[in-house]
Amino acid sequence: MVVQSGQDLEGRVPQACLWKGRHVEIVDGSTVLMADTCENQAVYPQHGNQKEGCGFPIARIVATFSLITGALKKLCFGDWKTHEVTLARQIYPTLASGTVVLGDALFGSYADFWLLLQDGLDGLFHIHGARKTDFRKGQRLGKGDHWATWIKPKQCPKGLPEAIYDQLPPTLTIRELKCRIIRKGFRTETLTLVTTLLDPVKYPKAELGQLFGLRWQVELDLRHLKTTMNMEFLHAESPAMVRKEIDAHLLAYNLMRILMWEAGMQHQVDPLRLSFQAAIQHLLNFIPQLVQAGRNKRLELINTLLVCIAKEKLPDRSGRHEPRVRKRRPKSFPLMQKPRHILRKRLVA
């Protein structure tokens, strides 16, 4: 149902709103905590740096979000030891052919480019810091833009199944391009991108740079999913219920995106420029009236709700940098260093 809700919303997107007629999805990963029970610890153990009884089970999640609607299209998760790339590789075969995938340098490996091409997909990623780029080599397409020949790794990378490694071709032709991002009031930033979109006429370098700049939308999507919708900590006490709790969060998130999309389309506002938090607050305020209203009154209330949501347009915040710091001071209680039952005995003694 979660996947279907995301696909249904994507199906409403007019062809003119797509990027060069193609759907674009952004991939990224994060982690969530859950209730500290024996059942959860057995499937999603706590981090190895934490003492037994002093931590919480951790699940690693990887999700893809629609660039146009912000809807969650697919999510995979495992324990914290599972690499994000491993989870992403489970998602690629489920994406519609022709989709362009955006991601950071973690997802732009030799094997992943080949896997994307096998599924009829294209990728655009930041180049990994360990890979060296020489624009004097390969077929030059323009300044800071060329086709490069990548060679198959001599050894199977960690986390890649041997069966997939054996299928990899000896070489891949990958497009490497250097983009300068110029923003008033900020230092000019230069990024080297890698992509399977090889045609420089159909996919100019400047447009690819602009597209990759939108990758940061996934950070907002994950923040809305985890923080705004309170999915950072799951209260279910068994893995089966954890799965159901995650599905409930994902479905609620997509339903909110559908509501915001309807508000934006009816009132000529970009749905991604609408406040997610304000949309939730307006919906909660309208729910008591919607439950008691008849059919005609309910339609009137829904239209009024869409008007309220459409008015919550966020200001243009392009180029804004915010430091990752906390203003609120944490409480002065010490961290738990021993299991709770031992600390209780000390209080009694």
> To which H or E segment does residue 307 belong?
helix 295-310
Residues 152 and 29 in one domain: yes
Residues 220 and 145 in one domain: yes
Residues 215 and 283 in one domain: no
Q: What pLDDT score does 187 carry?
A: 62
Residues 276 and 135 in one domain: no
Residues 37 and 94 in one domain: yes
In the chain, the amino acid numbered 198 is L
Q: What pLDDT score does 321 carry?
A: 64
Q: What pLDDT score does 70 carry?
A: 93
- Percent of the chain's residues with pLDDT above 70: 95
Residues across the chain: 349
Residues 265 and 200 in one domain: no
Q: Per-10-residue mean pLDDT for the chain, 349 residues long?
A: 81 88 94 94 90 89 94 92 93 93 93 95 92 88 92 90 93 91 63 94 92 89 92 94 94 94 93 93 93 90 94 76 78 84 81
Whether residue 342 lies inside any domain: the answer is: no
Total number of domains in the chain = 2
Contacts 24+ apart (CB under 8 A), 197-206: 197/100, 197/122, 197/124, 198/147, 198/173, 200/141, 200/142, 200/145, 200/175, 202/20, 203/20, 205/141, 205/142, 205/144, 205/145, 205/177, 205/179, 206/179
Owning domain of residue 205: 2-224
Domain stops at, among 191, 224, 257: 224
Q: Provide the CATH number for the domain around residue 63.
A: 3.90.350
Domain stops at, among 224, 249, 282: 224
Residues 181 and 212 in one domain: yes
Residues 204 and 92 in one domain: yes
Q: Kindly report, residue by residue over 34-76, the tens digit of the pLDDT.
A: 999 999 999 999 988 888 888 899 999 999 999 999 999 999 9
Residues 73 and 118 in one domain: yes
Whether residue 7 lies inside any domain: the answer is: yes
Whether residue 334 lies inside any domain: the answer is: no
Contacts 24+ apart (CB under 8 A), 220-223: 220/70, 221/26, 221/63, 221/65, 221/70, 221/72, 222/28, 222/30, 222/63
Residues 207 and 272 in one domain: no
Q: What pLDDT score does 323 carry?
A: 76
Residues 283 and 213 in one domain: no
Q: What pLDDT score does 216 carry?
A: 85
Whether residue 15 lies inside any domain: the answer is: yes
Q: State the pTM of this model.
A: 0.89
